[in-house]
Amino acid sequence: MRRTYRGDAIEVSFDLDLCTHIGECLRRQPEVFELRRRPWIVPDAASADEIAAVVERCPSGALQYRRLDGGAEELGPEPAVVTPMRNGPLLVRGRVEVRREDGTLEVLGFRAPGDVFHIELSPVRLQRAFPMSKADDPRE
């Protein structure tokens, strides 16, 4: 379920079901994103531009933002970019359309960092190969 955290200049939302526990948010902006604090996201703890830049690095789309100050809204790159990682998954950035067998169309909104992606240790990934499970994640 997606929850919304509203600040004066920017609103950030989070869906734990989508989070892949990469930890970009927690490592890059600990004053805004703090795993065990409630609320765990404080959108007034940094500028809207700084928060938007971090949210855009969230590779899963678990984090999204909406500007309340008239700033540029979040957009995925067009066309979509798919980057194979060595021994790893595909990183998909941008809007992807999937056509089902019955002809219906599903639109996916994956986002991922555009530069070389390294998995770093973070509060949600204390060992590189073992992210925190969703069951253990204290965020809601």
| Residue among 1 and 105 whose Cβ is closer to ligand SF4 | 1
| Residue among 36 and 100 whose Cβ is closer to ligand SF4 | 36
73, with CB counted inside 10 A (0-12, 13-18, 19+), is exposed
Report whether 81 contacts 94 (CB < 8 A).
yes
Q: How many CB atoms lie within 10 A of CB 67?
A: 16
| Residue among 105 and 129 whose Cβ is closer to ligand SF4 | 129
Least spacing, CB of residue 72 vs ligand SF4, in Å = 20
Least spacing, CB of residue 100 vs ligand SF4, in Å = 26
Q: CA-CA distance, 119 to 27, in Å (whole number)? A: 11
Least spacing, CB of residue 91 vs ligand SF4, in Å = 12
| Residue among 46 and 62 whose Cβ is closer to ligand SF4 | 62
Q: Which residues bind ligand SF4 (CB under 6 A)?
A: 19-25, 58-60, 62-63, 124
Least spacing, CB of residue 99 vs ligand SF4, in Å = 27
